[in-house]
Amino acid sequence: MKLRKVTAASAVVLALAVSATACGSNDKDPGSSGGGKKIAIGIKFDQPGLGQKTPQGYSGFDVDVAKYVAKKLGYNEDQIEWKESKSADRETMLQRGDVQFIAATYSITPEREKKVDFAGPYLLAHQDVLLRADDDSIKSPADLNNKKLCSVTGSTSAQNVKDKLAPKANLQQYPTYSACLTGLQNKAIDALTTDDSILAGYASQAQFKGKFKLGGFKMTNENYGIGVKKGSDLKAKINKALEDMVADGSWDKAVKANFGPANYQNEPAPKIGDIKS
C-alpha cells in the first residue's frame, strides 16, 4: 500500500516536470513553432520609412523585414510583440532577453559584435546628406564648407563630416530629425546628415514629397544587421529567412514601398556575412 502511494506521487512529480520543461523550451526557442506563443521583436518607433509606430500600427522597412523573418520562424503577425529599441538600449535588451531579435537600423560593428550576434546584413546604407530639391549649390561633401549642417543632438554624423570632409562646415544640433527637416525646409539650415536610409524614410513622408533630395555622397558604409543574443541559434535561422526574402522578391518590394517616394538609390541586397568596411 505504501509503495503504491509513493509511486503515484512520483508519477505526478514526473508529469509536472515534463510539462514545465516543455513550456520552458518553447519560450526559449521562438524558431521551433508558433503554437500560440508570442515573439518579442525590437524596432525603432520614431523613424519613418524604417520603424514607426502609428495609430494604424507599425510600418517601415525594418518592420517589413521583421515580419517576414517572424513568419519564417513560425509566427503570425498577431503573435508579434513590438518593443521600442532605442539605440542606447539595444545590447541590454538582447542580453536581458527582453526581445528575441532587433531590427532597428542596427549597424554591425566590431564593438557591438563583442556583446551580441548579428544575422545579415540585410541592408547596406551610407552616411549621406539631405538637401532641398531646388538647391544645386551642394554637389559634393566639400561643398558643405561654410554651410549650416544639421544632425540630431548626440549624433556623431555631422562631426564626422567636419573632421574628415568639410572642416569649415557650420554644425547645427537639433533635438530631432523632424526639427532638422523643418529647418531645412525653412532655409535655416542647408543640409541634414545621417544614414541615407533614414533620410529617405523622412523625405518619403507625404508632407515632404518632392521637397527634398539625397546628395548621394556615400560617405560611410552602414551594414544593417538583425541583432540576437550572443550564442543564439536564431542567427542561422534568421540568415536563412533573409536569403529567402531576397530570393522571392519580398526584399525589393519592401524597399520600393518604404523608400520609393524619395528616389532612394539603394544598394543591391547584400550577401549574408558580407560586411563592407
**Do residues 157 and 96 share a domain?**
no
**Do residues 168 and 245 share a domain?**
no
Q: What's 83's domain CATH number?
A: 3.40.190.10
Q: What confidence score (pLDDT) does residue 206 get?
A: 87
Q: What confidence score (pLDDT) does residue 268 get?
A: 96
**Do residues 43 and 120 share a domain?**
yes
Q: Is 11 contained in some domain? A: no
**Do residues 116 and 131 share a domain?**
no
Q: Is 144 contained in some domain? A: yes
Q: Is 10 contained in some domain? A: no
Question: Do the Cβ atoms of 166 and 140 come closer than 8 Å?
Answer: no
Question: Do the Cβ atoms of 197 and 32 come closer than 8 Å?
Answer: no
Q: What confidence score (pLDDT) does residue 15 get?
A: 43
Q: What confidence score (pLDDT) does residue 3 get?
A: 42
Q: How far apart are CA 187 and CA 195, in angstroms?
A: 21
Q: Is 8 contained in some domain? A: no
**Do residues 69 and 187 share a domain?**
no
Q: Is 27 contained in some domain? A: no
Residue 22 sits at the vertex; the CA angle it makes with 19 and 28, to the nearest 5 degrees, is: 140
- Please give the grid coordinates belonging to residue 50: 524604417
Q: Is 28 contained in some domain? A: no
Cell 564648407, residue located? 145
**Do residues 198 and 246 share a domain?**
no
Q: What confidence score (pLDDT) does residue 255 get?
A: 94
Q: What is the CA radius of gyration of the chain?
A: 23
- DSSP, collapsed to helix, strand or coil, labels residue 130 as strand
Q: What confidence score (pLDDT) does residue 30 get?
A: 58
Q: Is 16 contained in some domain? A: no
**Do residues 76 and 199 share a domain?**
no
Q: What confidence score (pLDDT) does residue 10 get?
A: 43
Q: Which residues contact 160 (CB under 8 A, 6 or more apart)?
A: 127, 219, 220
Full residue range of the structural domain in which residue 154 is found: 127-214
Q: Please give the model's pTM, rounded to 2 decimal places.
A: 0.82
CB atoms within 10 A of CB 6: 9
Q: How far apart are CA 160 and CA 256, in angstroms?
A: 29
Domain boundary among 174, 191, 214: 214
**Do residues 121 and 110 share a domain?**
yes
**Do residues 52 and 169 share a domain?**
no
Task: In the chain, count H helices and then E strands.
Answer: 9, 13
**Do residues 244 and 180 share a domain?**
no
Q: How many folded domains does the chain comprise?
A: 2
Q: Is 250 contained in some domain? A: yes
Helix (H) or strand (E) holding 32: none
Per-residue pLDDT of the chain (277 residues; tens, 9 = 90+): 444 444 444 444 444 443 443 333 334 455 444 456 999 999 999 999 999 999 999 999 999 999 999 999 999 999 999 999 998 899 999 999 999 999 999 999 999 999 999 999 999 999 999 999 999 999 999 999 999 999 988 788 888 899 999 999 999 999 888 899 999 999 999 999 999 999 999 988 888 888 999 999 999 999 999 999 999 999 999 999 999 999 999 999 999 999 877 778 899 999 999 999 9
**Which residue(s) pair with 174 in the sheet?**
152
Q: How far apart are CA 222 and CA 101, in angstroms?
A: 19
**Do residues 190 and 146 share a domain?**
yes
Q: What confidence score (pLDDT) does residue 6 get?
A: 41
**Do residues 110 and 235 share a domain?**
yes
